[in-house]
Amino acid sequence: MPPTSSPSSGPGGTRTPADPSSEGSALSEDDRRHLQRAVELGRRGWGRVHPNPMVGCVLVRGREVVGEGWHREWGGPHAEVHALEAAGSRARGATAYVSLEPCRHKGKTPPCTQALIDAGVVRVVYGARDPGERSGGGAQVLARRGLEVVGPVLEHREARRENPGFFHEASRRPWICLKLALSLDGGIGRREGERTLITGPEVAAEVHRLRAGMDAILIGARTARIDDPLLTPRGEIQPRKLPARVVLDGRGTLPSTHRLLTSEGGQLHLLTTTASTREWRDAMERAGARVRVLAGHRGRISLPDALAHLREEGTRTLLCEGGGILARALLSQGLVDRMHLALAPRFLGPEAVPAFGTARGESTAGDPPGEKPVSGPRGEDEGWMEGWSYSDPPRRLGVDLWLTLEREG
C-alpha cells in the first residue's frame, strides 16, 4: 500500500483500470485516463486517512477538467467534496470519476451521493465497489436519481491492491506486507550478530513512506537485539497516527536499554510466551511496553495466535521488516500478502545471513511445533516464486532495485 513516485504504479501494483464489468458500459480512452488520474490523486492520502480508504475524484465537463480532489484527512471531507468545491458551478452537467463508489451514508461527513446530486453531476464512473454495509450502495442511489452510473471498473483484485487494509477479508489476521533488503548472494547481514547496512538512502526513504500508512510494524527478537531499530516513519509523510511497534520475543530477551524502549514512537507491543520470566515482563511493562503472553512451544510463538491477537487489537495492515527467520516462517505458513524486496548490487560473502532464514531442514523459530520448515509459500518443490507475481515493474532506487510481488489468489 504506499504511493510511489511512478505515475503508472501505486501502493498495490499495476494501476491501469481493468475492463468494466457487465454492470457498466464500455469506457472510452478519456474515461480510463480520468479514472486513472482519480486513482493517482487518491494515493496522496497515504498515511493520513487510514483506516479509511484512499480515494480520488476528477470532475470533467465536456473535455475540460473542472475540479480535482482527494480524501486528505481521516474525518475530513471526502474526495468528491474537494473536487466539487474546486469546480464550483462548473460541476453542473459534469462527469465525476471516483476511484471508490461514492458513499451513501452520513458518518463523520455528509453522504457524497447527495453532494454529487445537488451539484448537478449527470454521470459517475467509479473504480471499486464500496463493501461497507452502510457506506456501500451509492451507485444504486445515484442511478435511482437519474444519473448515468458506470462501475465498478476495477476488478476486486486491483481494488484490494490499491487499498489492501480496507478490502482485507481475513478476520483472523491483518493484511501482511514483508519488506527485506538483500544482497545479490541472498544475504541480509554480513555475518551472524552483525548489523549490516545493505541498501542506500533512496530505499530508506521508500521504507519510511511505507511505514507511514501501516497500522503496525513487526520484527523478531533477534532483529531487535542486533539492529536496535526505532521502527518509526521519519520521511516526508507525517502519519496521522504512528504505527504500533511489535516484537516477537518468545523467550524475553530484549534488553531494557534498546531504543524501542527508550525513545518515542508508536505503542510498543512485546508478544512472548511463558518461556520469558515474570521479572522481564514486569520490567518491560514498567518501561512502557504492552506485554502479552501467547501460546508457544519452547519459546517459539504461534504465529497464527500472534496475528489473531494483533487483529483483535485493531491492526488491519502489518509491515514485517524481518529478520530472515521470521520472514521464512510467515512465508512457509502462507501468511504474507505482499513482498517488497530491495536488491543491492553487492555480495556479502560466505558468512552472510540468509534472507529467508535457516538452511533447508534446520529448525526455524517461527515454525509451528513439530512442523518442518519449507522453502516457499506453497511447498518444498515449488520454489519462492510459485504463487507470486510482480504487481509493479522493478524500479531503480538509487543503485538498488525495488521489487514488488503480490500473492496470487
CB under 8 A, 24+ apart: contacts of 166-173: 166/50, 166/51, 166/52, 166/53, 166/131, 166/316, 167/128, 167/131, 168/316, 168/317, 171/311, 172/304, 172/307, 172/308, 172/311, 173/304, 173/307, 173/308, 173/310, 173/311, 173/335
Which residues share a beta bridge with 69?
A: 57
- Give the separation between CA 273 and CA 309, rounded to whole angstroms: 13
CB distance 71 to 78 below 8 Å: yes
Indicate which residue of 68, 80, 321, 406 is catalytic.
80
Q: How many CB atoms lie within 10 A of CB 165?
A: 20
H-run or E-run covering 134: none
Residue 145 CB contacts under 8 Å (≥ 6 apart), including other chains: 117
* Annotation says 80 is catalytic: yes
Which DSSP string corresponds to 322-352? --HHHHHHHHHTT--SEEEEEE-S----TTP
CB distance 354 to 384 below 8 Å: no
Q: How many CB atoms lie within 10 A of CB 81?
A: 19
Which residues share a beta bridge with 189?
A: 353
CB distance 270 to 291 below 8 Å: yes
Q: How many CB atoms lie within 10 A of CB 186?
A: 15
Q: CA–CA distance from 354 to each of 26, 109, 348, 383 (Å)? A: 49, 50, 10, 15
Q: Which amino acid, one-letter code, is at 244?
A: A
Residue 203 CB contacts under 8 Å (≥ 6 apart), including other chains: 181, 342, 397, 398, 400, 402
Which residues form the catalytic set?
80
